[in-house]
Structure formats: structure tokens, C-alpha cells
Amino acid sequence: MEKDYYKLLGLSRNATEDEVKTAYRKLAHKYHPDKAGGDEAMFKKINEAYQTLSNKEKRAQYDRFGKTFDGMGGGGQGGFDFRNFGGNGFEFGFDPSGFEDMGNLGDMFDAFFEGMGVKRKRRTYERGADLEFIQEIMLEEAYRGARKPITFKTHIVCEKCAGLGHFPKEGFTDCGACDGRGEIQESRRTFFGNFQQVRECKKCAGQGKIPNKICGTCSSSGRITSEKTLELTIAPGIADGQVIKVTKAGEMGERGAEAGDLYVRIRVKPHPVFTREGDDLLMREEMRLVDLLIHRSVEVKTISGEKISIAIPQTFTFGEEITVQGAGMPHLGSHGRGNLRIDLRVQIPKKLSKKAEDILKELKGEL
Ligand SMILES: [Zn+2]
Ligand SMILES: [Zn+2]
């Protein structure tokens, strides 16, 4: 069947863009399939005509060749693509009389899709919220790893009803508000006419049935607010600012829905002796000049609490760092360790006694 888009919209060949728009709106309104007296075949044809004539390029092609090349103009059976409906193929920049407000467009398309038999998902109960806490630890705990009990207020499962919010043993009654369907059909008035819209039944939350006995302890939510304690496992080597995720340890979901996750951000308290740089630990140690000269070693306490004696290399010069391999922080999740780096400060005596000066003078040739 040869189609004349201009004839279809009741337009002359030199109709302006505005005239195309106006004619289309009038006819779309008239033939909309959800409207009494609507005509789906006509509605599709009108849309097809409009898709072509409202687009400068397509219209030029159509005028020249009697068709367009992207498939929209051909076929004649269901060439209208509903996915185009909310996109550029349609224009809404007109006086929205007939719309309740422009914000309802989304609803209108929902209604449109539902009218086309697109099934909407039934409601599932809300997942519990994720929770985030900050946990302070000592550097020693970060070094060894730790198990720390943490206590927080959250939603937990209602024990009375095992999180269901009701008692299934007591049976169910079909919901009177939706006749057991879980959804309610509503008529909505839009620019295109009246739509049948399906919405979830609020009374039974889309379930179609109502429990005969609900749980009073949790007011049927399946969860109660309570303090919860769990033991947090902190792996050796954890660093300041790292986050531990405990899956499903967050807020309990509504009526048995999935729990949220728990995120614990670790704060490592500043240490009086050590500062951390990656997995290396830095410390400053002071020693007397005489100890440097006589003992050539220094004793320090490491992060593990162990006292170690470190030989000072012959090549040592003031301001040089002394490194103790493997005496730093453990690498998180692997064997290896960082190093302990000692900033060794040698105290030069401010004032020498007469005796010390005399001895040093004697030693002058030896040093
Ligand atoms: Zn209902
Ligand atoms: Zn309960």
C-alpha cells in the first residue's frame, strides 16, 4: 500500500514544521489505542508519518524518493518503535494542557509499557542499609593483627517472628483492596487519553494476601533496633585509613530482605616512638658520643617489644640512617616485612670537664 504521509496527517506538501506538529498531536490524541474509539493501526501510521515529516533530513528524503532509508518509512506493519517514544522522536515543548504536570511523563510511559503487556517487577522488601564506622587501633595492634569487639546500634532480626514480621502458621487472608492480585488498576488521564495503569497494592505491599497475625514486637517489619556486637578481625599490617568490609553485617533488611554491609575504617593512633612510611617504621634514637666511640652499638626496642642491639657500621657518618631489615610492619596479606629505619642522633657534649679535656688532649694523636 502506498502511503502518503502528508495525506495521512491532512497536510499539504509545503506544511511548516509547526503545522506538522499540530496535525500530529491532534491525530495521535484521536487514534490513541487506549482511548475509547482509538485505532492502533492508524495510531502507528500517524506516528510513522510524524517520525519522517518532523525530521528535516528524513522529510527531504521522503519528498525526493517517496520513502526514507532507515526503515521507519517502510514495511507498514508495526514500523513504530516504542523505544523512540521517550526519546528524540517525540517532542513535548508544547502547552501541556491535558497533562497533570510535566513531571508525570515518566509515569505516563510506565503506564504505556504496562498497557503493552510489559510486566512490572513485584516489590521486594528493602535491603538493609550499609553502615560505616571508624575504629581506632594502636600501631602495635596494626603490627600484630587484632580481634576487636565492636558494638553499635542497628536493626537486627526480630527473634519473635524470625524476621518475617508475621506468623505464617496463623494463615493468610486474601487482600480485600486488590482482590488478592497484589496490584491495583488505575485510570490515568494524559495527553494521549486515558491509560490503564497498574500500581502495587499498598495494603498488602503487593503480596495479594494479608497475614492473619502480625508480629507486635517489630510492628511487622521483621526487625528491631538493638545494640549489636561483633568481633572485628584486623589483619597484621593494616594501615591507617584502610576499610574493612564485613559482608551482610550492616543493618538487617525489612522482613527477611538482605542485610546491608558493614564498613569499618581503621584509624591508627599516632605512636610516641614510631612513624610509619609504607611498611617501614622510622624512629629517632639518641646516643652519647662516648658510647658511639667505645661500644659502636646501640640498643633499641622494636615495635614487637623486643630489645635488640644494633652494631653501628664502621662507615657510619652523622646524619646517616641505620636500617634494620625486616623489623618494620608486616606487608598486609603477604609474608615479608618492612624495615626499621633509625635516625641516629649523636649527642656532642656541650661542655667538657677539665679532666675530660686533659684526657682528650692526651688522646689527640690516637683518634
Ligand atoms: Zn492488596
Ligand atoms: Zn517480629
Listed residue (288, 342, 277) closest to 313, CA to CA: 342
Q: Starting from the CA of residue 159, give the closest ligand.
A: 2
Domain range 275-363, its CATH number among 2.60.260.20, 3.90.1640.30, 1.20.120.1200, 3.30.70.100: 2.60.260.20
| Distance of CA 117 from the midpoint of ligand 1 (Å) | 21
Alpha carbon of 219 to ligand 2 centroid (Å): 7
CA distances from 184 to 55, 174, 175, 206, 308 (A): 39, 14, 11, 9, 78
Number of the ligand closest to the Cα of 213 = 2
Which CATH number, 1.10.3720.10, 3.40.1110.10, 2.60.260.20, 1.10.150.120, labels domain 125-169+225-270?
2.60.260.20
Ligand index nearest the alpha carbon of residue 204: 1
CA of 103 to the centre of ligand 1 (A): 27
Q: Which CATH superfamily is domain 5-94 in?
A: DnaJ domain (1.10.287.110)
Least confident range from 89-93, 137-141, 311-315: namely 89-93
Alpha-carbon gap, residue 35 to 39, rounded angstroms:
8
Ligand 1 geometric centre to CA of 218 (Å): 21
Summarised one tens digit per residue, pLDDT across range 226-278 is: 999 999 999 999 999 999 999 999 999 988 888 999 999 999 999 999 999 99
Q: Report pLDDT digits (tens) over 251-260.
A: 999 888 889 9
**Is residue 163 within 8 Å of 154, Cβ to Cβ?**
no
SS3 215: coil
CB-based contacts of 19, cutoff 8 Å, min separation 6: 11
Q: How far is the CA of 181 from the centre of ligand 1 (A)?
A: 6
In the reported structure, the alpha carbon of residue 345 is separated from the centroid of ligand 1 by a whole-number distance in angstroms of: 79
Q: How far is the CA of 184 from the centre of ligand 1 (A)?
A: 8
Q: How far is the CA of 101 from the centre of ligand 1 (A)?
A: 28
- Tell me how far the alpha carbon of residue 160 lies from the centroid of ligand 2, in angstroms: 5
Residue-wise pLDDT for 291-307, tens only, equals: 888 888 889 999 999 99
Counting every residue, how long is the chain? 367
Strands 262-268 and 131-137: parallel
Distance 208 CA to ligand 2 centre (A): 20
Same fold: 5-94 with 275-363? no
Backbone φ, ψ for residue 141 (5° rounding):
-70, -35
Which ligand is in closest contact with the Cα of 158?
Answer: 2
User: Could you give phi then psi for residue 219, rounded to 5 degrees?
Assistant: 50, 40
Q: Report CA Rg, the chain.
A: 39
What span, in angstroms and rounded, lies between the C-alpha atoms of 24 and 18? 10
So what's the pLDDT on residue 46? 87
Distance 251 CA to ligand 1 centre (A): 28
Cβ neighbours of 240 (radius 10 Å): 15
Ligand nearest to the CA of 164: 2
Instruction: Tell me, in angstroms, the distance from the centre of ligand 2 to residue 154's CA.
Output: 15
Give the Å distance between the CA of 179 and the centre of ligand 2.
26
Long-range Cβ contacts of 344-347 (<8 Å, 24+ apart):
344/285, 344/286, 344/287, 344/298, 344/312, 344/316, 344/320, 345/284, 345/285, 345/286, 345/287, 346/286, 346/287, 346/288, 346/289, 346/292, 346/318, 347/286, 347/287, 347/288, 347/289
Distance 198 CA to ligand 1 centre (A): 12
Residue that wins the pLDDT comparison between 249 and 118:
249
Across the chain, what does the average pLDDT equal?
A: 81
Bridge partners for 82 per DSSP: none
Distance 184 CA to ligand 2 centre (A): 28
Domain boundaries, the chain: 5-94, 125-169+225-270, 275-363
Q: Is the pTM of the predicted complex or chain greater than 0.95?
A: no
User: What pLDDT score does 98 carry?
Assistant: 36
Ligand 1 centroid, distance to 89 Cα (angstroms): 37
Residue 81 has pLDDT above 50, yes or no: no
Ligand that comes closest to the CA of residue 254: 2
Alpha helices in 121-200 (DSSP H): 139-144
Q: Which residue has the cell 486488590?
A: 178
Ligand 2 midpoint to CA 224 (Å): 8
| Residue 67 confidence class, pLDDT cut points 50, 70, 90 | low
C-beta pairs of 228-232 under 8 Å, 24+ apart in sequence: 228/151, 228/152, 228/153, 228/154, 228/156, 229/149, 229/150, 229/151, 230/149, 230/150, 230/262, 231/147, 231/148, 231/149, 231/150, 232/135, 232/147, 232/148, 232/149, 232/150, 232/264
Q: Does an H or E element contain 196, and which?
A: strand 193-200
Q: Considering every ligand atom, which ligand is closest to the CA of 209? A: 1
Distance of CA 256 from the midpoint of ligand 2 (Å): 10
Ligand nearest to the CA of 156: 2
Count of CB atoms situated within 10 Å of the CB of 83: 7
